[in-house]
Amino acid sequence: MTIYIVTHKEVPLENYKLDKCYKVIGVGEYAKNAKENICRDNTGLNISEKNANYCELTALYWIWKNDTSDVVGLVHYRRYFTKALISNSSRYFLKEKDIDKILNRYDAIVGNRTIIAMGAYSHYLKGGYKKDLEHVKEAIKKISPEYLTYYEKYFEHSAGFRPCNMIITRKDILNNYCKWLFNILDYVEKITDLDGYTPQQKRIYGYISERLLDVWLNANHIKCKSMKVINTDEKFNLKYILRYTKVWAMIKLLKFNQKSRMIDA
């Protein structure tokens, strides 16, 4: 089992109580310049040069093409799966024994869905372009038309998505997901002109893949264990507690449902 911690900079991970299954993978420019003896996304079969547009997906691609572990995963240097309901302490981060126990019952571990009152599609358009999503839909129609219904249901008409591209699963499941995902993204990349995009908007393929994860999971009937993901950079206060409780998600879902009913009417 290898759970990769994606990072674009040096991070004092010794402050966390991380289990032996965790391994750092440096991406992009950091992979070229890191002084530490770490795994790098610019070795073996890789797309490291695309990191500015693909974000943590350059690490996911590297895992797909180069790792031989039975179970693999991707987390971030500041984002981890946790067993805690409220606490942000690293003592509650998943350990190898926890992952083994969960994967005996489930196919994959993924982050809780982020629920958005305006809906997942409208939320993407706050920072991205509609033409990008039209290209994604075109790619699905051309490459995997059997996924189109799932794309419409679990993204276009959905109240949320699973952010950060975080997943822990068996390697064979990850291989199947990556083969589908990178075929879609490769198609979109070939027909998308990023001229005039801001640096943030140019991270397009990382953002798109966050919206495609639920599509693939549901289309392939992957039995998932949804878990809380914490951000170690966030302050532990009332706002934090509200954000990471199901009550807050339910409020957002109610708002989305109300909006949907108004549109239907």
Task: Give the model confidence (pLDDT) of 122-163 as tens digits.
Answer: 999 999 999 999 999 999 999 999 999 999 999 999 999 999
Domain that holds residue 57: 2-264
Written as six digits, the tokens of 8 are 């674009």
Q: What is the distance between the alpha carbons of residues 111 and 105, in angstroms, rounded to a whole number?
A: 17
This prediction has a pTM of 0.90
Domain count for the chain: 1
Q: What is the distance between the alpha carbons of residues 113 and 106, in angstroms, rounded to a whole number?
A: 17
pLDDT class for 248, splitting at 50, 70, 90?
low
Cα angle for residues 210, 165, 218 (degrees, 5° grid): 65
Q: Which residues lie across from 23 on neighbouring strands?
A: 4
pLDDT on residue 264: 39
Q: What is the distance between the alpha carbons of residues 24 and 26, in angstroms, rounded to a whole number?
A: 7
* Structure confidence by residue, pLDDT tens digits, 187-236: 999 999 999 999 999 999 999 999 999 999 999 999 999 999 999 887 76
Q: Within 10 Å of residue 114's Cβ, how many Cβ atoms?
A: 18
Nearest to 112 by CA among 254, 213, 240: 213
Q: What is the distance between the alpha carbons of residues 221 and 165, in angstroms, rounded to a whole number?
A: 18
With 80 as the cut, is the pLDDT of residue 237 above it? no
Measured CA to CA in angstroms, residue 239 lies from 119, 235, 236, 243 at distances of: 21, 9, 8, 6
CATH code, domain carrying 185: 3.90.550
Q: Give just the sign of the alpha carbon dihedral 12, 13, 17, 20.
A: negative
pLDDT on residue 76: 97
Q: What is the distance between the alpha carbons of residues 174 and 108, in angstroms, rounded to a whole number?
A: 9
Q: What is the distance between the alpha carbons of residues 45 and 55, in angstroms, rounded to a whole number?
A: 17
